[in-house]
Structure 1
Amino acid sequence: MLSGFVTLLLFTVIGEAISTLFNLPVPGAVTGLILLLIWLQIKGGASDNLQQVSQFCIHYMAVLFIPSAVAVFFMTDLLSRQWLPLMLATFVATPVGIVISGHFMQYLLRHRETSRSREQQS
Structure 2
Amino acid sequence: MLSGFVILLLFTVVGEAISAIFNLPIPGAVAGLILLVIWLQIKGGASEDLQKVSQFCIHYMAILFIPASVAVFFMTDLLSRQWLPLVLATFVATPLGIVISGHFMQWLLRRREKQS
TM-score normalised according to structure 2 size: 0.95
User: After the TM superposition, which parts of structure 1 deviate over 4 Å for at least 4 consecutive aligned residues?
Assistant: none
SS at match of 1:25: coil
Residues of 1 paired with 2:8 and 2:53: CA distance? 9
SS at match of 2:24: coil
Cα gap change, 1:114 to 1:44, in 2 (>3 Å): farther
Q: Give the aligned CA root-mean-square deviation in angstroms.
A: 1.0
Deviations 1:53-86 (A, max 9, x none): 1111111110000000000001111111111110
Q: In the TM superposition, what are the counterparts of 1:92-103 in structure 2 within 5 Å?
A: 92-103=92-103
- Does residue 11 of the first structure (1) align with residue 11 of the second (2)? yes
TM-score normalised according to structure 1 size: 0.90
Residues of 1 paired with 2:111 and 2:10: CA distance? 28
Equivalent position of 2:26 in the other structure: 26
Equivalent position of 1:69 in the other structure: 69
Equivalent position of 1:120 in the other structure: none
> Aligned-pair distance for 1:100?
1.5
Instruction: Flag structure 1 segments of 5+ consecutive residues without an equivalent.
Output: 118-122
Provide the aligned length of Structure 1 versus Structure 2: 116
Q: In the TM superposition, what are the counterparts of 1:53-68 in structure 2 within 5 Å?
A: 53-68=53-68
AA paired with 1:57? C
Percent identity reads 84
AA paired with 1:104? F
Residues of 2 paired with 1:13 and 1:54: CA distance? 17
Equivalent position of 1:52 in the other structure: 52
Residues of 2 paired with 1:108 and 1:3: CA distance? 29
SS at match of 1:26: coil
